[in-house]
Structure 1
Amino acid sequence: MNVKSIQILSLLVFSVSISCKNESSLEKEINALEIDFVVERFDEVFSKTTTKELPKIKQVYPFLFPERIPDSVWITTINSDLQKEMFSEGVKQFPDFKSEKESFENLFKHVKYYDKTFKIPRVITVADGVDYRNKLVLQADLLIINLMNYLGEEHEFYQNIPVYFAERMKPSQITPEIAEKYAMKYAHQSQRKTFLDEIIYHGKLLYFKDVMIPNFSDADKIGYSQEDINWAEINEAQIWSHFVENEMLFSTDPKLFTRFTIPAPFSKFYLDIDNDSPGRLGQYIGWQIVRAYAEHSDVDIISLMQAESDQIFKKSKYKPKR
């Protein structure tokens, strides 16, 4: 190794060292923030509710009890075999919810650091049947988590659910999916007409997770298996070339969104590689574009979430290595 190479290597090591120190200092500052909240285990409370106690419970959680449904229906529900099984499975998988609460706290601290107006939500867990398309609710300052949607990808409740949905129905997905709900609140684009608009929008949501839940793996952030994330990383340049060479980026064909951004067993290139690929690879590429933009721009996360897709794309100088 010549002198010039040694100097370049030393400079790179120094730059990485400074970057790591800055990140460590930032995380310490964020961790020092004080926030206070509890996780209300409504699933446990409801499982023990009697006819006599029901009116009091309804006063505490009125938003969980539609007025059109009589009390007799709620009592019948509590005592049904299916509901008892759901109560049992929720407690079995989440006996104390301690690690999940710590994870939420870390997320809330990060959001609070970047948005001083952020208000900690009221966090409530329920056991309300399996609904893989609506796994949790974030409305105003209320966060409701249906534990039945996070029991583990091989749980018997999920036997009739497509595998590519069931794979994300595990405890490790709760915090990333809460982060995504917040990301959607901050994200804005004046248009989502082209394929490039769409993948960059999803890229923003994923980059928001980079900032707000940095301790999670890339696989958990996007909801891939480790094999899926490895495949995407290895084939990133080829995926990008396919999009460019087939003039997809500025296309407004909605079929492209279906093929590359919505949940699916695989991405549809209409090539031999399809069955080996994970779904939603358009989201993955959008993520890498936004990451590249963040590297080339001195912009805070809140401003980044508001940036237009053409601005992000031009300034990203995105060019994956082959």
Structure 2
Amino acid sequence: MKQFVLFTLLCVSVFSCKNEDAVENEISKIETDFIVERFDRAFAEVKPEGLSDLKKAFPFLFYNRIPDSLWVERMQDSNQIMLNNETDKIFEDFKNETHEIEQLFQHLKYYDKSFTEPRIVTLTNFVDYRNKLAVTDTVAVIAIDNYLGNDHEVYSGIPVFLSQNMKPSQIVVDLAKAYSERQIFQSRKKTLLDEMVYFGKQLYFKDKIIPFKTDAEKIGYTPEQLEFARLNEGVIWTEFVEKEMLYNTDSSLPARFIADAPFSKFYLELDSKTPGRLGQYMGWQIVRAYMKNNDVSLQEMLQTDANEIFNKSNYKPPK
């Protein structure tokens, strides 16, 4: 009997892998139509007398209340010139990033038939790492000075738990997150479970939209941090359940387990060894379990209530 069960599980696993390969093969054939417009380079090269032409080419980047004199000052600003030089070194051709964006768009077009490729515009924004990029139906703006490399000297004053993801490979990850936020509906985020499932939806969206990225890249962990989460999943879940956190509306819980932080705050000795955002990781596993155990589409899941997802997930941490 045991051998039969193992054989059945193996067959299911093989069939699932073949099905996923077939889907990915179909997605790889989807055509995309976009170019990356390097506003950062155009601004670095423009002279004051050419500013009006640049404004015509990128009207959505200029605000009427900001006089041209301030833009001319920025052209001559030493910090701006430094960023021009550094972004030019790191993103000389933007070839790899463009390829990953193409893969992202192929997957978005497969799972959302209404999706059309936007204009892709790169710029610098004085390392405003809280606002790395923005997407709309027609434009995606990427502040590439936030992706120079996690050990770049420009980031010396930024906490490591934030700067560790300020590298080129995370551009497409952050784009996927931005697109997930436009598609997720969740009527409330009152409890810790609500927050966990919301971010679990984001991460599962990345599973489908950027499957060429590792799990560590999707969640923004180092490989070691991801391994800690995997090895301690049962312990983490036990803490959440035994301390009755899941349905708790205490506003401090998202700060402890959801928000960017150097570590998660269980108020235990092991805290300093934990990565931040473990609530997001656990929500990810809940949503993965829900999708495994229920026949629903990606779009349906993104619209489903957090409690329904949890109740129908049959989630159990690995032993």
Letter in structure 1 aligned against 2:262: P
Partner residue, 1:9: 6
Letter in structure 2 aligned against 1:100: E
Partner residue, 1:251: 248
In structure 1, how many angstroms separate the alpha carbons of the residues matched to 2:76 and 2:103? 37
Which among 29, 44, 59 is matched to residue 41 of structure 2?
A: 44
1:98-147, Cα deviation, whole Å (9 max, x unpaired):
11011011111111111111121110000221111111111332111001
Given the alignment of the two structures, is residue 89 of structure 1 paired with residue 86 of structure 2, yes or no?
yes
The CA RMSD over aligned residues, in Å, is 1.1
Q: 1:11: Cα distance to partner?
A: 2.8
In structure 2, how many angstroms separate the alpha carbons of the residues matched to 1:266 and 1:86? 31
SS of structure 2 residue aligned to 1:273: helix
In structure 2, how many angstroms separate the alpha carbons of the residues matched to 1:17 and 1:218? 21
Partner residue, 1:209: 206
> TM-score, normalised on structure 2?
0.98
Given the alignment of the two structures, is residue 316 of structure 1 paired with residue 318 of structure 2, yes or no?
no
In structure 2, how many angstroms separate the alpha carbons of the residues matched to 1:12 and 1:304? 25
List runs of 5+ in structure 2 lacking aligned partners. Answer: none
Letter in structure 2 aligned against 1:78: M
Which among 141, 144, 160 is matched to residue 144 of structure 1?
A: 141
Q: 1:14: Cα distance to partner?
A: 2.3
Which among 282, 296, 299 is matched to residue 296 of structure 2?
A: 299
Partner residue, 1:280: 277
Letter in structure 2 aligned against 1:139: T
Of residues 158-167 and 270-279 in structure 1, the stretch that sits farther from structure 2 once superposed is 158-167
Which among 237, 256, 259 is matched to residue 234 of structure 2?
A: 237
Which among 21, 31, 34 is matched to residue 31 of structure 2?
A: 34
Q: 1:17: Cα distance to partner?
A: 1.7
In structure 2, how many angstroms separate the alpha carbons of the residues matched to 1:282 and 1:70? 45
Q: 1:252: Cα distance to partner?
A: 0.3
In structure 1, how many angstroms separate the alpha carbons of the residues matched to 2:213 and 2:224? 16
1:55-95, Cα deviation, whole Å (9 max, x unpaired):
11100111112122222321221122211110111011111
Letter in structure 1 aligned against 2:179: Y
> TM-score, normalised on structure 1?
0.97
SS of structure 2 residue aligned to 1:144: strand
Partner residue, 1:265: 262
In structure 2, how many angstroms separate the alpha carbons of the residues matched to 1:73 and 1:10? 69
Letter in structure 2 aligned against 1:313: F
1:142-161, Cα deviation, whole Å (9 max, x unpaired):
11100111111111111111
Given the alignment of the two structures, is residue 20 of structure 1 paired with residue 17 of structure 2, yes or no?
yes
Partner residue, 1:56: 53
Letter in structure 2 aligned against 1:14: C
List runs of 5+ in structure 1 lacking aligned partners. Answer: none
Letter in structure 1 aligned against 2:105: F
Of residues 227-236 and 163-172 in structure 1, the stretch that sits farther from structure 2 once superposed is 163-172
Letter in structure 2 aligned against 1:277: T
In structure 1, how many angstroms separate the alpha carbons of the residues matched to 2:125 and 2:189? 34
Partner residue, 2:123: 126
